[in-house]
Structure 1
Amino acid sequence: MIDSHIHADTRPYEDFGKMAIAGIETAITCAHDPLRMTTSDVIFDHWYRLLNNDVKRAAENGLKLYAAIGIHPRSISDDFQRALDELPSWLEEDLVVAIGEIGLETASESEKYVFKRQLQLADELKMKVIVHTPRTNKKEITKITTSLIEENIDPSLAVIDHVDNSIIEDLIELDAMLGLTVQPQKMTAADAIFILDEYGFDKFFLDSDISSSPSDPLSVPKTVHKMKLAGFLEKNIQKVSYKNVFKFLL
């Protein structure tokens, strides 16, 4: 199994062992807002931790960790242009598989600018992007998000994450992959299974988005278990818990 979206820097050492024991072989840790990003130096320290400290902690527990590096909409510093200028050099690191997690939180002008510039960079590099959708005003902001994607990058390079029933109809025809985040306060395993049963398996990833918010590091294997109990074909379970992510990001 692959957990396609986590925030390893917020999790205790023991979580990586639990994930590996449960059958998760690989995870993608994404940049986010673990601290108050007052300057670009804080952002750089955050990226460094993801690619060094957390990769090491995961490996010691048998979990292969890759990273998505980018400027999260909640971590835009006053000197964000410096971070944008330095981002390409960070993307050259071997373990970086995408620009992310990027997107919009409130759809402010600064968020839209930073998101647009990162999309344009990804399009230039033909690099994948992991795109955030917020908890608040989700439907309205996701519409702005998808418009910016379509204007600035081939949508087939994007995975739009934290998709739920409120936005699935707006996204299902978009030529992008879609992430189903099974996490307390976001989506239950039953919610994810309902979407998969309704819309198929080819466009979806499963992820836990484990962070400092209420989280379950085993939500992907638990969802896989429930899919098996519900009688889903093994090939379809493999698509959403491993093959789609492997083909798209790794």
Structure 2
Amino acid sequence: MRIFDPHIHMTSRTTDDYGRMAAEGVRAVVEPAFWLGQPRTNAGSFADYFASLVGWEPFRAAQFGIRHHAAIALNPKEANDPRCREALELVPRYLAKDSVVAVGEIGYDAMTPEEDDVFAAQLAMAIEYELPALVHTPHRDKIRGVARTLEVVTNSTIEPGRVVVDHLNEVTVGAVHDSGCWMGFSVYPDTKMSPERMVEILRVHGLERVLVNSAADWGRSDPLLTRRTGEAMLAAGFSDDDVDRVLWHNPVEFFGQSGRLDLTELPAASSTFEGNSILRGGS
């Protein structure tokens, strides 16, 4: 089973996680910019964070044969913090980087006027840089949040097929399916979506325009729930080709629209990045 995790926050994970993922078939990932938990106190901290997403994390992933790509954005939660709003001016610099394959995460957290402005501005950047957009839907009042998201996407004039609306569930998937946007699902141990529920959604709505991810942030999460979803599909009667479609071909199709996706075999990994190694205590 080969796996492309289209939304995973590896900044929150250990090198042991990279090793487990590689052993279970993960060959490529996309890491979107997100809220790290601790509020940032100034926009300048985003420059170092964005740089790590296009530098240090690809280096760590390469040690295990995993291709790492990034999505860059000012995330919805921090769009409300006036200390962070200037980071919006940094985003275009990183959208030009070769390993950046989308604008994201953008969208809504609390559906404030500030989030409206930042969401629209970054959809415009996606159009300008000819990149897909990865959209976060709010954890609260999700039905209204998805409806508002689709309205903003429509008003932006971006092609729906270049947008994935993420963190969906049984009550929100239908509207996104009908919109022509891609449908994203984050599979978690206790919340959002489970492998078994994901299988039922695939039965009802089909395999097209579906992205299954583990998100795997700093909370209770599991970077191997993409694999577990594939296993649940097989147990439910889906074919190997169906699993490959959902866990590999679909993310390749979506992020391939960036023109920057690199899935060639990795060369031998270098031992250091900027003079630093992930080895501890080795020779």
TM-score normalised by L of structure 2: 0.85
User: What SS does the aligned partner of 2:102 have?
Assistant: strand
Contact residue 6 and residue 251 of structure 2 kept, 8 A: yes
Q: Distance in 2 between matches of 1:84 and 1:190?
A: 38
Q: Distance in 2 between matches of 1:80 and 1:173?
A: 35
Residue 178 of structure 1: aligned partner: 183
Instruction: Output aligned runs, 1:180-219, within 5 Å.
Output: 180-184=185-189, 185-219=191-225
User: What SS does the aligned partner of 1:18 have?
Assistant: helix
Instruction: Output aligned runs, 1:25-44, within 5 Å.
Output: 25-34=27-36, 35-44=38-47
Instruction: Output aligned runs, 1:1-250, within 5 Å.
Output: 1-34=3-36, 35-76=38-79, 77-152=81-156, 153-184=158-189, 185-249=191-255, 250=261
Contact residue 40 and residue 84 of structure 2 kept, 8 A: no
User: What SS does the aligned partner of 1:68 have?
Assistant: strand
Q: Distance in 1 between matches of 2:56 and 2:78?
A: 20
Q: Distance in 1 between matches of 2:161 and 2:72?
A: 19
User: What SS does the aligned partner of 2:134 have?
Assistant: strand
Unaligned segments of structure 2, at least 5 residues: 256-260, 262-283
Give the fraction of aligned pairs with identical amino acids, expressed as a percent: 30
Residue 272 of structure 2: aligned partner: none
Unaligned segments of structure 1, at least 5 residues: none
Contact residue 17 and residue 62 of structure 1 kept, 8 A: no
Q: Distance in 1 between matches of 2:27 and 2:47?
A: 27
**Structure 1 stretch displaced more, 199-208 or 168-177:** 168-177
User: What SS does the aligned partner of 1:19 have?
Assistant: helix
**Structure 1 stretch displaced more, 90-99 or 70-79:** 70-79
> Residue by residue, what CA displacement relative to the aligned partner does 1:182-232 show, whole Å, maximum 9, x if unpaired?
112111101111000101001101100000111011101111011112210
Q: Distance in 2 between matches of 1:141 and 1:193?
A: 24
User: What SS does the aligned partner of 1:75 have?
Assistant: helix
Q: Distance in 2 between matches of 1:226 and 1:145?
A: 30
**Structure 1 stretch displaced more, 15-24 or 227-236:** 227-236
Q: How many correspondences in the alignment?
A: 250
* Deviation at residue 84 of structure 1 after TM alignment: 2.1
* Deviation at residue 116 of structure 1 after TM alignment: 0.5
> Aligned AA for 1:196?
L
> Aligned AA for 1:226?
A
Q: Distance in 2 between matches of 1:50 and 1:85?
A: 17
**Structure 1 stretch displaced more, 42-51 or 94-103:** 42-51
Q: Distance in 2 between matches of 1:91 and 1:67?
A: 9
**Structure 1 stretch displaced more, 108-117 or 235-244:** 235-244
Q: Distance in 2 between matches of 1:63 and 1:85?
A: 30
Q: Distance in 2 between matches of 1:207 and 1:16?
A: 15
> Aligned AA for 1:187?
M
TM-score normalised by L of structure 1: 0.96
